[in-house]
A and B are shown apart, each in its own frame.
Chain A
Amino acid sequence: MIHSLFLINHSGDIFLEKHWKSVISRSVCDYFFEAREKAVDPENVPPVLQTPHHYLISIYRGKLFFLSVIQTEVAPLFVIEFLHRVADTIQDYFGECSEGIIKDNIVTVYELLEEMLDNGFPLATESNVLKEMIRPPTILRSVVNTLTGSSNVGDTLPTGQLSNVPWRRAGVKYTNNEAYFDVIEEIDAILDKSGTTVFAEIQGVIEACVRLTGMPDLTLSFMNPRLLDDVSFHPCVRFKRWESERVLSFIPPDGNFTLMNYHVSSQNLVAIPVYVKQSISFFETGPCGRLDITIGPKQTMGKTVENMMVTIHMPKAVLNANLTATQGTYTYDLTTKVLVWDIGKLNPQKLPNLRGSLSTQVGVPKPEDNPSLNIDLKIQQLAISGLKVSRLDMYGEKYKPFKGVKYLTKAGKFQVRT
C-alpha cells in the first residue's frame, strides 16, 4: 500500500515527508520533478507515474502536490481518494490546506498522518475519530496549552473506532441543539456560440451542520425525491431505507459533513439562469481585437443572481485589454492571460456590459480561435432543480432541536463557447 508521502510546494521544495514503512530517499521525487517540468502547467502532471522501482501517485490541491510512493500493485483510486482525504482532514483541522498552515502545525499534521495510516493501510480516516485522538487547535486551547503545558493529544481513547457508528464520537453535549442543511446545486453547462445549450445538467450536494446532544437518529424526507437520479451517501445513511421509502435515515456525525451527493435526472430540462451575448474578434489588419459582452437574466425563478463573474482565458497573443465595464470591475493578468470580470449582483433593468479593445502582439498572426467564457454565479434561496426538503424528524433524543434548510444554486462548470 502507501509507502511514503511527500508534500511538495509550488516551487518544487519538499517540505514534509512521512514514511510508513522503511525510509525511501527523497531523490525518488526527481522523476516527479521531471514530469512536472514537462507538463508546464501543474494541472497537467499525470497522476500516476512509473519509475524503475516505484510508482508515484500524486494529487494537486491548493497549490500543493501530495506525492505518494507505492511499491506494489494497488488500486490507484484507493491512493488518490486517500490523499484527498488527507487534504480534507488538514482543511478541516486548520481551516485551509496550504503550505504555510502545514508548516505552522507540522507536528500535528505529522501526528495525524501517523494515525491515518498503519503500515500504509488506512486506519482512522473519520474526522470524528481523529478529533478524539488529536484535538484541532483553537485559539483558546493554544493559550491554555502554553499556560498549563497541556497538549492537543486527547487523553481519552478513541471509542468511536469500536462502535458500530464509527463516524460519530460518543458523549456529545450541546446547550444549543441545532441541525442545519444546505442544499447546494450546481449547473454544469456548455452553451455554444448562438446561446443554445449543448449540454446541461444539475449536480447537487447536501451539506449538513449537525450539533446535537447524544445519539440522535434523524430522518430527512423530500417533497419530490423522484427528481434524484443518481445518489451517493455518507456512510451513515441507511441505504435500505432509501431504496424502499426514499427517505434519508441516519445517525449523523458530529459537526460538518456532506450528507449526500445527487444528480438530477436528465429528463428534466435544466433552467439556464442567464444568457450571454458576446462577440470577441481579432482583426486581420493591425494588432488589435474587439470584445463586447452583455449578460442578462433568463430563467431565474424571480430570484436575484449574485456574485456574477466571467473568466476568460485569452489566447497567448493578447498583450493587453483596454475595456470599460458598465458594472463591476475587470482585471487582466498579463502573465497568465486571464481576464476576470467581477460583476456582482445582476440588475435586470440595467444589463451589465463589458466592451473595448484588445491589443495583440505585433507580427504574430491573429489568434484563430476565440476563447470560451467561464461563468460564475450564485442564486440564494433557490434549488434550480426544484428539489425541496419536506421535513426533518428526530428520534432517540427528547429535546427539540433548531432545524433549518437553506437552498443555493451555483454555476458549476458553466462554459460559453465563442
Chain B
Amino acid sequence: MSTSALYNDQGGAEAAVEAGQESTPTSSGTGAAFGLFSTDFKKNEDLKEMLESNKESLKLEAMKRIVGLIAKGKNSSELFPAVVKNVASKNIELKKLVYVYLVRYAEEQQDLALLSISTFQRALKDPNQFIRASALRVLSSIRVPIIVPIMMLAIKEAAADLSPYVRKTSAHAIQKLYSLDPDQKEQLIEVIEKLLKDKSTLVAGSVVMAFEEVCPDRIDLIHKNYRKLCNLLVDVEEWGQVVIISMLTRYARTQFTSPWTENNEKTFYDSDSEEKKEQTEAKPYIMDPDHRLLLRNTKPLLQSRNTAVVMSVAQLYWHLAPKHEVNIVTKSLVRLLRSHREVQFIVLQNIATMSIQRKGMFEPFMKSFYVRSTDATHIKTLKLEILTNLANEANISTILREFQTYVKSQDKAFAAATIQAIGRCATNISEVTDTCLNGLVLLLSNRDETVVAESVVVIKKLLQTQPTQHSEIIKHMAKLFDNITVPMARASILWLMGEYCERVPKIAPDVLRKMAKTFTAEEDIVKLQIVNLAAKLYLTNSKQTKLLTQYILNLGKYDQNYDIRDRTRFIRQLIVPNEKSGALNKYARRILLAPKPAPVLESAFKDRDRFQLGTLSHSINSKATGYQELSDWPAVAPDQSVRNVEVIEPVRNPSSSHTPYHSFTSYLSNSSALLFLFYSITCIHTMSEAHFAVLVCFSDSDENGNGPVAQASSSSPESSSGSETDSEDDSDSDSLAAQKKKKSDVTTPSFGPVKTYELLHHMTGKGLSAKYHFPRQPCLYEPSMVAVQVILTNSSDHSLEEIHIGERSPAGLNIHCFNTIERLEPEASVTVSMGIDFSDSTQAANFQLCTKENQFSVSIQPAVGELLMPSTMTEQDFTKEQGKLLGMNETSATITMATANTSSQAISKQVLSVANVGVVSSSQNNFHRFAGRTVSSGALVLVSLELKESSSALLTINTEKSVMASMLLRDLKQALTQA
C-alpha cells in the first residue's frame, strides 16, 4: 500500500512528502488490524478499490457502505488513507460523508488526519458562509491536539465573521477546543466575551452554551449583556432558550435581592443589631427592574411547544419569582403531562418537589394526577407521591376513595406504594388516622402477600404514634401471624408485641412460645426481633418466659449469622444478672423499654429541593458532574449599574428611571469635587435655577447617570480633574462623561438636557461606533452653524486609522468637519466637535464617516428645538417684538397641561428640554415667556405660555419661520401635556 502515491494524485508536493514519512507506521498498524478482522479484510479491500476508482458513483457507493459500517459500530479505520484523499471532492454528498468519516477516526489516525487540514484552512476563507461554517465545524471536531493553534486562530477569525451563522459555529467550536485543550481557557474567554456582545439571535444560545461550559463562574461577563439577552430571548431558537434561561436563573440569584418577603423578615429577626433591623424596615422590597424584565420576558415561553423550554421557565419562576407569581406556571406544567412517558416522568418528579412546599399550586389540578391502569409503574408511583403531598383535610376523603381503587391494582408494587401513601396521609391528617387504620387492618386479610406485608409495616408505624388505644389491632395481628410469611411483616409484628407486651400480657408469651419452635427456620431480621421480644418479655414477665428466653438465647448463641450471635451475647449480658455484669444491668429495663419516638412518614422528595429544579441532579437526587449550585439571594443587591449599557435604547423602560437617580445621589454624597461643582453653579445663578438645572439633567440622562457631571463641569473646567478621579469606581460610562467634560469649555452655561443619539452602531460600523449630541453652545467655526459633538468609539479589537468625513449630501451642505483622527486604539474613544449649517430646516444632514478601510453613510437629523439659540431680552422687549410678529407669523394652540407641569419650574424644564431658548423673566405668575433666535438666519422665535383656569393654557409662538413654528408648537405641546 503506497500512501505517498495516493497523495501524489492530489498534486500537493508538500503533502506527498509528509505522507511519505508517515506511511510506514500506518501500514504496519493496519496490518495488525487486518489480522484481527480477517473477515472484514476482503470486504474492506474492495471498498478501497472502489474509493480509488475514478468513478464518482463508485466512490459514493463505497463511502455509503463505510458510513454504514461506522453507524453499526464496526471498525473501518484501516481505510483512512483511502478515504481522506477524497476530502477535497467536488461532490457535496461524497464530501460530507468523508467529513463524517474523518471526524470519527481522526483521533486514531492523527498524523494522516493532518493532511486534510489545509483543505479546511482554504475553505475557511471561502466567500460562501456555509462553506466557511462547515469547514470550521469539521476542523474543530477533529480531536488532534497538534492543530490547537490553528483551531484557535480559526475560532478568533470566525468570531469576527460578518455572517452570524459562522459566528454561531465559532461558539460551538469554542467548547470543542476547550475540551481538547483546557489550557486555552483564557484566550477562549476573550472570544466568548466578544461573542456575548453579539446581537444576533442565532449566536446567543450557542455562546451562552460555550460560556456555561468554559467559564460559568465569570458572571461579570454577563452584566453588560443581561438586558440584551432578556430581550432577545423570545426570538432565540428553542434549545438556546433552555440554556440561556438556566444561566440567567443562576445569574439572577447572585444579583438581585430576594422577592420572598417572609424570608427578608427572617433574616432581620436573626440579626441582633438594632441598626440593621431599622434598615430593613426602612426599605420595603422593590423589585429590581432588571429582575422584573427577566420574569416578564420569559413568561410567554411557557407556551412553547418544547417541553424543555416550558420546564426551564417553570424552574426560573420557582427560583426567582415572588411567591404569589409562581402559580402561573402550574397550568403549563400540567399540560406537559399529556406528553411522552419520559417527559411525564421528569415533570412529575419536579411537581413532586414543588408540591411539598406549595400544596396550593397544584391542588386545583389534583385530578390530573389520578392514576390510570396503563401508566408505567414509575409514573404511577410519582403520581401517588404528588397526591399524597396534596392531601389535606378538605380533599382527603376524595383522595382516600381514589387510593382504595389503587390498592386493588394488579400491579402489586404499586398497591404496596399506595398503602404507604395511606399511612402518610394518616399521620399527616389526624382526622382520618382512625379511618385509615381500620382500612389497613382490613387489608391484613388480603390474599396478596406484599399487600399484607406492607400493611403490617405501615400499621406498625401508625400504632407507634398512638399506641394506647390499639391493643385490639395488635391482638388481631397476632392472630394473623401464622399466615404471614413475608419476613419484614413478621419482624414488624414481633416488634409490636415486644414494644407493647404489657398491653397484650396473655398473647405475647404465647407468640414467643411459637417463635421458639420455629426460630431456626426464620429469616435473620425475624430472628433479631425474636431475641428482642424475648428480652422485653423477660424484663416484664420473667415468671412465664424465663425458660423460653434462655432457650432462644441459646439458639441464638450458635446461629450462623454473627449479627445474631452478637445480639444474643449482648442481650444476655444485659438482662440476665450474673457476677460479671456491671452497672448496665440495673438499667436494662430503661434501655430496652424506653419510649421510642414515632417515625415520621415523609416524602421521598423532601430533600430534593436542594437541587435546582429541572436539572439532572434533581432527577437522580445526587450531584451530577458539572452541576452548578444555585447561590442564595444576596442580602444586599450588588451594584445595579453594572448592567447599564452605553447605548441608549430608543424605547425607554419607564420603571427604570429611578436608577440614575440613585447613582446621582450617591455621587453627591461621595464626591466632594462634585459638591464643589454644584456650588460653583449656584454662585453663577440663583439657587432655584441651578437646582432645577440639575433636575433637568438627571431626569433626562436616562441610564447613563453621568449626564449631570458633564453639564455641571462646563462652568468650571478647572475642577474636572477632581471629579474624574472620583468617578473611577463607577461604571465604564464614566470615561464618556470625562470626555464630555473636556470639550465643554464654552462660556455660556446651558442647562438643557443631553440627549445622545446614535450615529453609527458598532455592528454596522465594523467596530467603529459613533454617537452625537447637541451641546447647545454657539458654534465656534461659523455663527450660522449648529454645534454637534460626536463621540467616536472603537469597539473592535484592532486600531482604526484615518477617521474622517467623506462625501456629504445635499451637495451644498455646509459642514465644518473635525480634523482627521489618525489612529484610534481598541476600546478608546474620542470626542470631536462639528458644525453643521442646517439652514433652519430639519432636513437631515447626510455624510460619510470614513476610516482607512471603510466608509459608512450616516445622517444627523436635528429636532427643531436644536436649531435655536437662546436670546436674552426683557419683558418689554419681548412684548414689543411680539407685537411685530402677529397675524401670519403667529401660531397658537390651547393645550391641557399635565398636572405635573403646572409649576413654573416644571414648565421651564419642559420647554427647555424641547428647545434651546432663553427664559424671559416675567412679572406675571401665569405668563411664561421664552425667547430664541434661529441659528442660521437669526430670526426671532418667541414662545409664550399663558396659564388659564383648570390646567388649560394658551401656547403661542411668534416667528416669521412659520414651518418651524408649527413644528415647535407640536413638540412643545407634547412635552407639556405629558406627565
Q: Which residues of A contact B (CB under 8 A)?
A: 1, 14-19, 21-23, 26, 41, 43-44, 46-48, 50, 55, 58-61, 70-78, 80-84, 106-107, 109-111, 114, 118-119, 121-123, 125, 149, 151-155, 157-158, 161-162, 164, 166, 188, 190, 192, 198-199, 201, 203, 229-235, 239, 243, 258, 261, 263, 313, 315-316, 365, 367-369, 371-372, 374, 413, 415, 417
Contact = CB atoms under 8 A, between A and B. Distances in A.
Nearest to B340: A84
A78 B245 CA distance: 12
Nearest to B55: A149
Nearest to B68: A106
Contact of A80 (B246, B304, B346): B346
Contacts of A21: 179
Contacts of A70: 616
Interface in B198-254: 202, 206, 209, 234-235, 237-239, 242, 246
A60 B341 CA distance: 8
Contact of A157 (B128, B409, B620): B128
A-B residue pairs, 10 tightest by C-beta: A72-B626, A153-B93, A149-B57, A369-B408, A151-B93, A47-B342, A157-B130, A77-B308, A122-B239, A199-B367
A86 B176 CA distance: 23
B142 to A, nearest CB: 11
B405 interface: yes
Nearest to B56: A149
B933 interface: no
Contacts of A41: 376-377
B342 A80 contact: yes
9 contacts: A22-B107, A47-B346, A75-B311, A82-B308, A110-B71, A121-B209, A123-B172, A149-B56, A413-B372
A81 B93 contact: no
Contact of B619 (A43, A48, A122, A151): A48
**Which of A21, A243, A371, A415 has the most chain B CB within a 10 Å cutoff?**
A21
Given A47-B346, A230-B332, 5 more contacts: A83-B342, A118-B169, A203-B338, A261-B335, A313-B373
B627 A73 contact: yes
Contacts of A235: 238, 304-305
A119 B614 contact: no
Given A46-B378, A73-B627, A16 B72 contact: yes
A78 B242 contact: yes
Interface residues of B, number: 93
Interface string B477-501: 0000000000000000000000000
A73 B378 contact: no
A162 B128 CA distance: 13
B307 to A, nearest CB: 5
A258 B92 CA distance: 32
B622 interface: yes
B100 A110 contact: yes
A50 B312 contact: no
A38 to B, nearest CB: 11
B376 A18 contact: no
B620 A374 contact: no
A362 to B, nearest CB: 16
A72 B374 contact: no
Given A111-B96, A121-B209, A80 B372 contact: no
B374 A374 contact: yes
Contact of B310 (A122, A232, A365): A232
Contact of A415 (B72, B368, B372, B617): B372
Contact of B67 (A81, A107, A263): A107
Main secondary structure of the interface of A (DSSP, over half): mixed
Nearest to A74: B616
Contact of B410 (A154, A365, A369, A374): A369
A164 B128 CA distance: 19
Nearest to A81: B308
A121 B206 contact: yes
A198 B368 CA distance: 11
Contacts of A16: 71-72
A73 B628 contact: yes
B335 A59 contact: no
A74 B143 CA distance: 23
B370 A198 contact: yes
B303 A233 contact: yes
Of A21, A107, A164, A263, chain B has the most CB atoms within 10 Å of the CB of A107
Nearest to B344: A47
Interface in B405-429: 405, 408-410
Contacts of A164: 235
Contacts of A43: 341, 376
B410 A371 contact: yes
A162 B165 contact: yes
B373 A371 contact: yes
A77 B305 contact: no
Nearest to A262: B335
Nearest to A42: B376
Contacts of A71: 625-626
Contacts of A198: 367, 370, 402
Contacts of B300: 239, 243
Nearest to A122: B239
Contacts of A231: 303
A48 B238 CA distance: 22
B156 interface: no
A121 B370 contact: no
B506 interface: no
A19 B141 CA distance: 11
Contacts of A415: 372-374
Nearest to B201: A164
B716 interface: no
Contacts of B509: none
Contact of A161 (B104, B137, B165): B165
Interface centre among B71, B100, B308, by most A CB within 10 Å?
B71
A360 B162 CA distance: 75
Nearest to A417: B405
Contact of B620 (A15, A18, A50): A50
A119 B172 CA distance: 7
Interface in B64-110: 64, 67-68, 70-73, 91-93, 96-97, 100, 104, 107
Contacts of A367: 410
B616 A73 contact: yes
Given A50-B620, A190-B372, A75 B242 contact: yes
Interface string B154-190: 0000000001110001001001100100000000000
A81 B72 contact: no
B944 interface: no
B378 A78 contact: no
A198 B626 CA distance: 45
Interface in B787-845: none
Nearest to A114: B100
B930 interface: no
A118 to B, nearest CB: 5
Contacts of A59: 340-342
